[in-house]
Structure 1
């Protein structure tokens, strides 16, 4: 049902107007249909401080918003009518959901507005991306309360063993998979694939490729409503990149191809090695040159950096290779309809809008500047890592410093975004630096 049709039906009473925060969480309000009519004309006020919150509403330091100069005013959210969809499980007349983004000055730090700006800038150069995303998560037979009572240790995962693509566990968990599929219908999520991954309870769900803001909108909805589905079943999920030291890392993998304004593919060239065009090579060159500058976008929490402990399957550096999962930028596909690059750096804790924006910006900059990539990695990229090659930040302080120093990030993502995002991540890092982890007490309390 369209938004106009929903408003026109006198049986409908309420709708949810939602904003996506920096963490990728939906925040919003249920408003009456009568109020929604006014919101469509004038916007809905919401404090920019929403973008300074950590997931459990810990207020982070954001210059001009939550520091000594902030007045906690409201700025208008603008409804995007094209995002109208139904909330699963809600009663008719209360089930409309629409997404928004900030307007005015706050648009400079609004993730959805930033992606919109990058897409428009790419289009001005005749570049139109098509992209899809894979989301990894772990499902637990624990409620949030039982997990907390256990200190988040010795948790019961939905399956006991690692089970990559194991049909046995997919069959045993058919209730979960079917409920997830049913949930995606009213949410207009193009759910392309679901399967078991490489750990107990470790699962993956994939969004079909699309254009514009839509695939990122869908992944936002998928992340939020997967969590809702689990809670409704008395279970829980986590998107932490590394929730326990024995688990492998959890990621969001982003697949991108490129067309021109006429719809012609730009990444494939007949007769070229593996079909990789020169334009595609420039895109890869841009990824290698600039992704390191924006590591903080892909690794936004203190937990993000746990992915890179020895023995995990995280990328060894900003390398690329054809059909090579041991590189960061994996070229996938065999013809003009399938050839694309997969960015394997983002953790599952990233904001999809920012992940797409930063990846697209780096690649498009490579095309504009005609940046040649480093040589392709052949064989195992973990065993054959080239010393001195382009790399991402390996710690949060390094990632913060690189973002702040990046002319590329300021140009493509904006001065204000660089200032505020780096400040909130510094605030998070400082808060956790004060903590004493249990493992340190166990190692050093008695004899350290």
Structure 2
């Protein structure tokens, strides 16, 4: 199941390619507020006409949740608006031949016009434009843990998501045995994503039954968010075509560790010189890196809803499960939120350890980079370094992560820094969408509640 990365740079390149290759249809797609992959097949001639003026999608795709339930608190769209079309522009450089279909070209899109202010990809692009105006380019790499199950979509629902069969049993992290026994699956993953320009720097078994982890090779931040989003979507496709299921939930089982979406990043000058390294500093951290981390720590609580965007995200952010609970930092310390990874001038970087695998990569990247830029602009020094077990640190409320999505949504909606960085329209709309999601959960009656209260109360 290999595909092909198309080396196209402009609308003219795309038009020439599609005209010459003459496919009957082209597939277009985008990622919504929750990072859900949406798209459709488009007839060749309609696609060619859309290259200039874009194409439309009902703007409900930016006004509903993961279950297609319409928000009842959206100012951007709703029944009051009549749900008109939102326009999307095709991204020429994103072209690829899909590895799962019959030579079908595929292109990513980004919302434009009145939908652009709340488009996740556009939010990140604006943050990176800010970095560019400050003289920086941003390099990033994302890594994802995900659980694999010997289940089908229909089977999951028939079993009511109970007694699921994982791909393997027990915890056997970095298992060479499992990677060899399951070599056809591992090789399929490596080949599939390599063929479409997503180089996986590593792929291995992780702690937990049926857990895999992969790291996507470093790239410019916007390209990395594109690759990370495509990886999550197509990994699920690859799994289901093999009779398996992959989940990127932050935490699917109360007794197992959550699934991370750690992000590595560094700043560089426009002419390619690293900005985070200082050989004379105790930890080789330049003032730019210190201030970048200082901003990330300062605004982590305010921007948490973009980094932990789901109800389930907060089940992962608990002590002792390899996920941070507060705005802490340290050097090569995996109990903190921001881990400095000492290295050479070119490899010296930080690891942003708050995101789970459930993140929308565009929004988590925008929050991580944007808060760091504020730190540079404001000259914010990081708090005291954490050594040893950071879970034992006493931290003030403003440095504690919210413990639930409702609190995170309320804080984001009131954040002046968020409105400045991401735009007031996006900040209000996304915060309201998280409050809507929290209300959906508050109405649910869970298995835990039934087992705990049904008979005894």
TM-score band by shorter chain is over 0.9
Alignment partner, residue 335 of structure 1: 344
Q: Does 1:13 align with 2:24?
A: yes
Q: Is the 8 A contact 2:330 2:387 kept in 1?
A: yes
> Which of 192-201 and 279-288 deviates more?
192-201
Structure 1: how far apart are the matches of 2:81 and 2:209?
Answer: 45
Determine helix, strand or coil for the equivalent of 1:241.
Answer: coil
3-state DSSP of counterpart to 2:219: coil
| Structure 2 match to 1:53 | 64
TM normalised by structure 2 equals 0.94
Q: Give 1:16-415 correspondences, 5 Å limit.
A: 16-92=27-103, 95-386=104-395, 390-415=399-424
Q: Distance in 1 between matches of 2:285 and 2:259?
A: 29
Distance 1:332 1:238 in 2: 28
Q: SS at the partner of 1:181?
A: helix
Asked if the contact 1:80/1:99 (under 8 Å) is kept, the reply is yes
Q: CA deviation at 1:59?
A: 2.3
3-state SS, counterpart of residue 438 of structure 2 = helix
CA distance in 1, matches of 2:93, 2:342: 31
Instruction: Say which SS state the counterpart of residue 273 (structure 1) adopts.
Output: coil
For 1:428 and 1:239, how far apart are their aligned partners in 2?
A: 18
List alignment gaps of at least 5 residues for structure 1.
none
CA contact (8 A) 1:190 1:218 kept: no
Q: TM-score of the superposition, structure 1-length normalised?
A: 0.96
TM-superposed CA distance for 1:62, in Å, is 4.8
* Structure 1 residue 5, shift from structure 2 partner: 4.3
1-structure distance, mates of 2:232, 2:118: 21
Q: Out of 374-383 and 228-237, give the one that drifted further.
A: 374-383
Instruction: Tell me the secondary structure at the aligned position of residue 135 of structure 1.
Output: strand
Residues 62-90 of structure 1 show CA distances to partners (whole Å, capped at 9, x for unaligned) of: 52344342221012101110111111022
The corresponding residue for 2:3 is none
Relative distance call for 1:286 and 1:309 in structure 2 (3 A) is closer
Q: What is the distance in 1 between the residues matched to 2:317 and 2:262?
A: 16
Shift of 1:335: 1.4
Aligned-pair distance for 1:29?
Answer: 1.6
Counterparts of 2:377 and 2:102 in 1: how far apart (Å)?
50
- Counterpart Cα distance in 1 of 2:354 and 2:271: 31
Shift of 1:162: 1.0
Name the SS for the 2:164 alignment partner. Answer: coil
* 3-state secondary structure, aligned to 2:202: strand
Q: d(CA) in 1 for partners of 2:310 and 2:252?
A: 12
Q: How many residues align?
A: 446
C-alpha separation between the residues in 2 aligned to 1:77 and 1:47?
11
Contact 2:318 2:324 in 1 (8 A): no
Conserved 8 A contact 2:325-2:401: no
Q: Supply the distance in 1 between the matched residues of 2:215 and 2:21 (Cα, whole angstroms).
A: 37
Contact 2:63 2:74 in 1 (8 A): no
**Aligned with 1:432: secondary structure?**
helix
Would the alpha carbon gap of residues 188 and 284 (structure 1) be closer, same or farther in structure 2, given more than 3 Å must change? same
Instruction: Please provide the CA RMSD for this pair.
Output: 1.5
Q: Deviations over 1:30-50 (max 9, x none)?
A: 112211111011101112220
Conserved in 1, the CA contact under 8 Å of 2:301 and 2:398? no
- Name the CA distance, whole Å, in 1 between partners of 2:54 and 2:386: 50
- Checking the alignment, whether the CA contact within 8 Å between 2:63 and 2:78 is kept in structure 1 is no
Deviation at 1:53, TM superposition (A): 2.7
Gaps of 5+ in 2: 1-5, 9-13
Q: Tell me how far 1:186 sits from its aligned partner.
A: 3.3
